[in-house]
Amino acid sequence: MSDHQRPDPDALLASINKKRPSRRGTLKIFLGMCAGVGKTYAMLKAGRSRKERGETVVIGIVETHGRKETEALLDGMEIVPRLSVEYKGKKLTDLDLDAILAREPALALIDEMAHSNADGMRNAKRYMDILELLDKGINVYTTLNVQHIESLVDSVRDISGITVRETVPDGVFDAADEVELVDLSPDDLLARLREGKVYTGDRGVEALEHFFRKGNLFALREIALRKTADRVDRALTDYMRENRIGGPWKTVERLMVAIGPSPYSQQIIRWTRRIAGTMDAPWIAVHVQGARPLSPEADKRLKKNIALAQELGASVISTTGSDIAAALLECARRNNVTQIVIGKSMTSRLLDLFHGGSLVNRLIRESGAIDIYVVKGGEDDPHIQRDQGELSSLFSSPPGQYLLACGSVAAATVTCLLASVFIDYRSVGMFFLFIISLLSLVVGRGPLFAAALLSTLAWDFFFIQPFYVFSISRPSDAALVVLYFVVALASGTLTSRVRIGEVLVRRRERNTAALYAFVDSLASSETSSDIATAGVAGIASAFGARAILFFPENQETLERNGQASSTFRPGSEKDWSVANWVFQNGKPAGRFTGTLPLASATYYPLLAHGACLGVAGMVTDDGGHGLTVEQEGLLAMFLQQWAMALERAHLRSEALKTKLLEETDRLNKTLLNSISHELRTPLATITGAADSLLDPRVSEQKQARQVLATDIKSASARLNRLVENLLDMTRLESGGLLLSKEWCDVHDVVNAVASDCGEELAAHALTISVAENMPLVKIDAVIVQQVLSNILINAALYTPPGTKISLGCFMEGDTLAFSVEDEGPGIPDDALGRIFDKFYRVPGTRAGGTGLGLSIVKGFTEALGGTVTAANNPSKGGARFTVRLPVEYKTVSSEGDFQ
């Protein structure tokens, strides 16, 4: 294959994703040009035939509108009862999503994809319900009228004059696996309508007059046909791409649309989406944040526009800059944009003067290789209230600033009037200019403009001949006044622009600082719960919000109670289920979002590399409205950092686990090595001795028999000790050690140990010293005995025969202490810290032994709540082990017998 015929890997990947063989359900849309063409009928018929093939088919929701033929098709179908909710006293019914999810049918029939759900349902829109069903592997048949497709809203309005409010995003429509066009000629439809087959009763006539005009129907039909044809076309392209059929591939275009708070942005966004769709090009939407914070109203509109762009498949970028044109171009270049779409500017000439030329003109002038589309906003739309535009925002400074501007001019005028005897009118002009310059440091552009105008008038009125009239006699003075006005305005504007730039920089700096502080606090937290605490605190300080963090309990649900450090607790069970939904779906939900908006907080998933590591809930204290667009951008960064920090902690704990596993593995290997040697040696002795005993020549000699039997006995004892040690260790490690404490006489314990170890200590001299007046102590005597015998045997093994070993017992305050001292070589200093480690044996010691004895001592002592230490005796040499146990003790006298 030649190189240029190789398909684009990205495209291949996309097509693989599209037909992912996972459990995701398939979506089939029955598309019609308008109501009444028989979509529901077609859907039900298709559903019935699937049912006849033996599949489980349920009807999620179907509106028959009283149509007889349609109702007949419902006969014998399984209908999932609708869910009724009460919201603000009204009783509403809607699709019962959870019931269908629980029923798990192969196919669900759900009418009217564009429907908006009743308030109080989980999702705001029915298509979201459908997406959830698809996610859970349930196939869906649904119906849709072409006018409900988001990017066609404007076209439909142009044709019918009706603004459609219930819409389905193009992305959802495009992602459908199959679209079946249900077509009917307008004449047939009108006939059906007249026969009352579409709407029953008077509604038919009303509908006829309004929507079902023949012209409308023709246009809508054309749109529907074209939309379907587009899909067919794209399917063909996909097929060709997959099968490496050479063809005229489209060049890589990338569109960018500039959006703002203006309501016209919506049309421009839809327009861009349509163009991007036909060009099969990716597109981005850019919003440039100016210095001036937006009014809550404008911010709300901006958020709506951003949401629309996201819904239609754009990736949205927010950037800041006082110079919109420059910011847009920079963003375009960074993202390899080939075409920029902007709305036809509504700004006035005057405003252009402030901006250094109109936005459109500047973009065209400076865009270079990038194409610019200028799209008209729909002024003729009566539904959209005309925005006051940028002009008003330019002059919308607080009244105080206007007052200050006018006051300053008035004061300057009065001052100059008083001083007019000493100064001439030119100096007055200079003085006014000075005042304007000062003002530009504190007030906005509007007040500045007012001050410039006012001072010009005052100068003319009071100081330029003829006095006290608004006229100028000398041409040179006239020129001076005009020049003055221009200079005042220009210098003021320039200063103010610098100031705005500063404000922007400061704000950006503040955000950066907040983010930095946040990242810093996360970085210094190690564990997940520390990170949770730092995150909650960071969000509280940056957004003035209370937050909660949920960690996952398992693959599917979150822990019910959020992290302990959370500063907000959801009031109801419902909020937890919202958070759970967010966890399962990886999308934000809750207040101010389209999903489950009735929750008390907004919930965001903490995503890192596709995995959801937790869900953060947030409540802003200002009540009414949510975060501004700028804050949302910042929050997104916060959440990203938070998720990354959590992932880091997660990875670290995973790494720790791996290390632990490796350690266990190493121990197991050591165990095997050490045990196999220790097991084989006595076994070899026993086998050999038994073999010899079986030999008649040996067994005839009495002395030989005795020796062999003794060997077998001591080898068995050694084996037995090893097995007991292993069992002890297993008991310790499995946590199966149950203590049974009883009142004991320490003499008993010490004596029992001495007699237990009699054989092992035979070659040594054991001295026992128990302090006077020892009280009765409450201990587990068996375990304590094991601890002491292990230490004693250890001492016997590692000291030369004939040396002394002494066992002592005494009280240290409330602590019972045992000490074992020997006269051996002692413990090398570098080994002191390790001798209680499992399988550790001091290098160079004699063969035999597993390195288990002392680790069992330590394990048992700790299980008893005590400590064991090893040290060398500095004066006499030799090792000294001390076991300290916290005990309950009492002195009981036997004086006077019990009653």
Look up residue 623 and give its amino acid.
G
Q: Residue 712 CB, nearest distance to another protein (Å)?
A: 12
The rounded distance, in Å, linking the Cα atoms of 499 and 291 is 10
Q: Is 46 an interacting residue with respect to another protein (CB under 8 A)?
A: no
Comparison of 101 and 737: residue with beta carbon closer to another protein = 737
Closer to another protein by CB, 425 or 743: give it: 743
Nearer to another protein, 445 or 718 (CB): 718
Q: How far apart are the C-alpha atoms of 144 and 152, rounded to whole Å? A: 13
Q: Of 203 and 713, which has the nearer Cβ to another protein?
A: 713
Q: Which CB, 658 or 720, lies closer to another protein?
A: 720
Which residue from 17, 385, 734, 893 is in contact with another protein, where contact means CB under 8 A?
893
The H or E element that residue 394 is part of is helix 389-395
The answer to whether the beta carbons of residues 605 and 591 sit under 8 Å apart is: no
Is residue 890 a contact point for another protein (CB under 8 A)?
yes
CA dist 171 to 226, 314, 820, Å?
A: 17, 10, 79
Residue among 598 and 776 whose Cβ is closer to another protein = 776
- Bond from prior residue into 296 cis (ω within 30 degrees of 0): no
Q: Which is nearer to another protein, 847 or 892 (CB)?
A: 892
- Residue 234 CA: distances (Å) to CA of 37, 175, 254: 25, 12, 18
Q: How many residues bind another protein (CB under 8 A)?
A: 31
Select 52 or 897, whichever has its Cβ closest to another protein.
Answer: 897
* Nearest-approach distance from CB 892 to another protein, in angstroms: 5
CA atoms within 13 A on the CB side of 456: 21
Which of the residues 522 through 541 are near another protein (CB under 8 A)?
none
User: 434 in helix, strand or coil?
Assistant: helix
Cβ 650 to another protein, closest distance in Å?
41
Window 781-810: residues binding another protein (CB under 8 A): 781-782, 785
Distance of closest approach, residue 852 Cβ to another protein, in angstroms = 16
Phi, psi values for residue 319, rounded to 5°: -135, 165
Contacts 24+ apart (CB under 8 A), 5-9: 5/244, 5/246, 6/244, 7/241, 7/242, 7/244, 8/241, 8/249
Q: In whole angstroms, how far apart are CA 464 and each of 13, 329, 407, 460, 844?
A: 78, 48, 21, 5, 112
Residues 151 and 266: their CA atoms lie apart, in Å, by 10
Q: Given the rule CB under 8 A, which of 147-155, 166-174, 235-243, 890-898 is the region that contacts another protein?
A: 890-898
Residues in 61-80 at the binding interface with another protein, rule: CB under 8 A: none
- The distance of closest approach from Cβ of residue 667 to another protein in the complex, given in angstroms and rounded to an integer, is 23
- Residue among 153 and 749 whose Cβ is closer to another protein: 749
Residue pair 288/320 in contact by the 8 Å Cβ criterion: yes
683-722 binders of another protein (CB under 8 A): 716, 720
* Residue 169 contacts residue 312 (beta carbons within 8 Å): yes
Least distance to another protein, CB of residue 792, Å: 15
Cα distance between residue 616 and residue 610, in whole Å:
16
Residue-wise over 248-261: b if at least 16 C-beta within 10 A, else e?
Answer: eeeeebbbbbbbbb
Q: How far is the CB of 730 from another protein (least distance, A)?
A: 11
- Specify the residue, 233 or 742, whose C-beta has the smaller distance to another protein: 742
553/888 with CB nearer another protein: 888
Which residues make beta-bridge pairs with 125? 116
Give the separation between CA 457 and CA 444, rounded to whole angstroms. 20
Q: How far is the CB of 654 from another protein (least distance, A)?
A: 37
Q: Does 888 bind another protein (CB under 8 A)?
A: no
Q: Would you report the helix, strand and coil content of the chain in percent, each value rounded to 5?
A: 50, 15, 30
Three-state SS for 452?
helix
Kindly state the smallest distance separating residue 753's Cβ from another protein, in Å: 9
Alpha carbon separation from 374 to 127, 268, 295, 342, 365 (Å, rounded): 33, 9, 27, 5, 13
Minimum distance from residue 878 beta carbon to another protein (Å): 24
Shortest Å, Cβ 781 to another protein: 5
CA distances in angstroms from 125 to 237, 362, 495, 624, listed in the order given = 31, 41, 50, 23
DSSP letter at 364 equals H
The one segment of 97-105, 406-414, 519-527, 887-895 that binds another protein by CB under 8 A: 887-895
Site string for another protein, 715-744 (x = CB under 8 A): -x---x---x--xx--x--------x-xxx
Among the candidate windows 283-291, 512-520, 831-839, 891-899, which touches another protein by CB under 8 A? 891-899
Site string for another protein, 496-515 (x = CB under 8 A): --------------------
Answer for the pair 869, 861: CB distance below 8 angstroms, yes or no. no
Mapping DSSP to helix (H, G, I), strand (E, B) and coil, where does residue 604 land? strand
Please give the DSSP secondary-structure letter assigned to residue 3: G
Nearer to another protein, 22 or 755 (CB): 755
Smallest distance from the beta carbon of 784 to another protein, in angstroms? 9
Shortest CB 841 distance to another protein, Å:
25
**Closest CB 704 distance from another protein, rounded Å:** 20
CA distance 180 to 195: 26
Contact 168, 114 (CB under 8 A): yes
- Min dist CB 818 to another protein, Å, is 15
Q: What is the closest distance, in whole angstroms, from the C-beta atom of residue 758 to another protein in the complex?
A: 11
Q: Which amino acid is at 244?
A: R
- Give the residue carrying structure tokens 């529901």: 40
- For residues 838 to 877, the per-residue mask of contacts with another protein, x marking binding by CB under 8 A and - elsewhere, is ----------------------------------------
Region 220-259 residues binding another protein, contact defined as CB under 8 A? none
Q: Do the beta carbons of residue 449 and residue 436 sit within 8 Å?
A: no
Least CB distance to another protein at residue 895 (A): 9
Give 103 or 804: the residue with its C-beta nearer to another protein: 804
Question: In the complex, what is the shortest distance from the CB of residue 857 to another protein, in angstroms, rounded to a whole number?
Answer: 16
SS (H, E, C) 228-285: HHHHHHHHHHHHHHHCCCCCCCCCCCCEEEEECCCCCHHHHHHHHHHHHHHHCCCEEE
The token pair that represents 225 in the structure block: 């046909």
Stretch 743-782 residues interacting with another protein (CB under 8 A):
743-745, 747-749, 751-752, 754-755, 768, 770, 776, 780-782
**Residues 288-327, interacting with another protein (CB under 8 A):** none
Tokens of 55: 């599949």
Stretch that binds another protein, among 157-165, 244-252, 404-412, 888-896 (CB under 8 A): 888-896
Nearer to another protein, 1 or 892 (CB): 892
Q: Which is nearer to another protein, 291 or 768 (CB)?
A: 768
Residue 243 or 899 with smaller CB distance to another protein: 899
Comparing CB distances to another protein, the nearer of 339 and 789 is 789
Nearest to another protein of 366, 742 (CB atom): 742
Given the rule CB under 8 A, which residues bind another protein?
A: 716, 720, 724, 727-728, 731, 740, 742-745, 747-749, 751-752, 754-755, 768, 770, 776, 780-782, 785, 890, 892-894, 897-898
